[in-house]
Structure 1
Amino acid sequence: MLKPWLWLLVLCPLWSQADNLLEDAPKNVIFATTHWCPYACEDLAESPGVVYEFVKALLNKQGIEVQIQFYPWTRAIKEVTSGRAHGLLTAVHEEAPHLNFTNTPTMSYRVCFFTDGGSGWSYSGVDSLKGITLGAIRGYGYDPQVNQYIRRADVRSSLQLISGGDEITRFIEMLSLGRIDVFLDDQYVTAWQVKSNGIDFTRIRKAGCLADTPFYMGFNPALEWGDNVIEFLDESLKLKASQETLQSILKKYTVQK
């Protein structure tokens, strides 16, 4: 076990490197995003979002404040492209390939299938959806196989496609009424909706998931300090302490007491 003074020898170069990288960075970094709770939550002062709290924790340690501006998604991309905002808070490369992205994912989202709490069904590929009434969000992109399944004419009678907001609470009610057998949505979005609406977690059951999709931060390429901030974030996101911070924040949004 390293003695306390030896730990200082290990950490001091890391602190010095961060100071050098962020020397020219502004004291306030502006991110644009859209309302995607629990990742980024508009108009919730006490629960502004997992990613917002996480990125704020990383940059605040270096004396940098984080400001979040909410827009419809296409407008958020335009705000960063024009330079009115510095970066996108949650994005994948395909959405804005002209931006400079972090190389280390901030975190991942994962679409899962949910059933009534007493069901024994589990997802094992699109073939396992045969004979199942599936609830999905109209116009939402899942993964190529599931998207193709939803577009198939021969399964339309087995689909319940909804839109208009509050989809997850509506899906849970539809499960209770027997109108659907399964719905699919992001695991953390579902957990947040269940918790924030006071729904008993035992009413639903996770019954398999699609592959994780990592997301990143994307910065305007014209920023002179952008590459240095990206390098700092890439290294910070890899640290065990940072991942422990993320898990602690995530529990606040998704674990029911």
Structure 2
Amino acid sequence: MLHTILKFVTVLTFIFACQLDATNKEVIKFAAIDWCPQLCGQQKDQGYIIELIKKIYPASEYQLQIDFFPWSRAIKVVRNGQYHALLSPAKYEAPDLHYPINPAGNQQMCFFVLAENKWRYTGVQSLAGLSIGIAADTSIEELNQYFLENEAQFQVQPYLERYVAQNANKLLKHRVDTFIFTRNTTVLELSKLNLDDKITIAGCVNAEMVFVAFSSHPDVKREISNYIARYDAEYPSLVNSGWIQSLYDKYNISWDVSSHDK
């Protein structure tokens, strides 16, 4: 009987110690989108950006809360201070947030068309007369100004995990001529949908870096300053050790991290 009681007390002590340890850790709240292979919701591989932030903010010191939203909603909850950081915009997509010096990765927006379509993107002039699918609040780099001046050409919809599937369906039904989205994610999703032989890349805009972007809300100013300092202190050593390049290689991301312009 005494042995049973002691065993029970030991278990309770362990549980209490774990709870106490958890409460002592600083909680960082990240708003994210399901954007594999960068950010993968419920899949086995977390996505390279989630692996990166877990390396920079280790479980021994921090408790990371990562919640998934539609893209426009994710921007909003970080902007208003409900969440500390956004995973992971190009600067044009949320210019009012605070950015570390170092990026989290890169993205390249590409046009996708039906395989039999011979049209190719060769610059702004090649877009004349096209109906183009696009996700709300996303940056299309050098074409951002064109979008603002020619919004009638674009079919805008919220970015949800169904975005690629929905726009692929629009292509198949000839409801759009092309849609534009990030290369890595779209290629992966088209393969899952068994559409990689029916839909192809028709050209891309310039690649742009994406970041872990932090809230500029005054209520979280002190914490954000510390989180950015931590990010920029840890990132260079991960580059120099080869850890980040190995991470990109794991996810088949073809980007030489050492070449990015700080």
TM-score bracket for the superposition, by shorter chain length = 0.5 to 0.7
Q: Is the counterpart of residue 233 in structure 1 residue 234 in structure 2? A: yes
Distance 1:40 1:137 in 2: 17
Distance 1:218 1:191 in 2: 25
In structure 2, do the counterparts of structure 1 residues 216 and 128 end up closer, same or farther at CA, with 3 Å as the change threshold?
same
The residue type equivalent to 2:199 in the other structure is I
The equivalent of 2:31 in structure 1 is: 33
- Deviation of 1:132 after TM superposition, in Å, equals 3.6
- Deviation of 1:127 after TM superposition, in Å, equals 0.5
In structure 2, do the counterparts of structure 1 residues 222 and 91 end up closer, same or farther at CA, with 3 Å as the change threshold?
farther
Contact 1:105 1:237 in 2 (8 A): no
Contact 2:131 2:154 in 1 (8 A): yes
Distance 1:131 1:228 in 2: 47
The alignment partner of 1:235 has SS state of helix
Map 1:1-257 onto structure 2 (within 5 A).
30-38=28-36, 39-42=38-41, 44=42, 46-60=44-58, 63-64=60-61, 67-70=64-67, 72=73, 73-79=75-81, 86-92=84-90, 95=94, 97=96, 99=98, 101-137=99-135, 140-143=138-141, 145-149=143-147, 151-152=149-150, 156=152, 159=153, 161-163=155-157, 165=160, 166-195=162-191, 197-219=192-214, 221-223=221-223, 225-226=226-227, 228-239=229-240, 240-250=242-252
Distance 1:45 1:244 in 2: 20
**Misfit runs of 4+, over 6 Å:** none
The residue type equivalent to 2:118 in the other structure is G
- Deviation of 1:110 after TM superposition, in Å, equals 1.6
- Deviation of 1:117 after TM superposition, in Å, equals 2.0
Contact 1:92 1:214 in 2 (8 A): yes
The alignment partner of 1:222 has SS state of helix
Q: CA RMSD in A?
A: 3.4
In structure 2, do the counterparts of structure 1 residues 107 and 206 end up closer, same or farther at CA, with 3 Å as the change threshold?
same
The alignment partner of 1:37 has SS state of coil
The residue type equivalent to 2:185 in the other structure is V
Unmatched runs of 5 consecutive residues or more in structure 2: 1-23, 215-219, 254-262
Distance 1:98 1:147 in 2: 21
Taking structure 2 as the reference length, the TM-score comes to: 0.65
Contact 1:53 1:249 in 2 (8 A): no
- Deviation of 1:107 after TM superposition, in Å, equals 0.4
The residue type equivalent to 2:166 in the other structure is R
Distance 2:131 2:95 in 1: 35
The residue type equivalent to 1:76 in the other structure is V
Residues 3-43 of structure 1, C-alpha deviations (whole Å, 9 max, x = no match): xxxxxxxxxxxxxxxxxxxxxxx85552422324123344x
Taking structure 1 as the reference length, the TM-score comes to: 0.66
> Quick one: percent identity of the two aligned structures?
16
In structure 2, do the counterparts of structure 1 residues 96 and 179 end up closer, same or farther at CA, with 3 Å as the change threshold?
closer
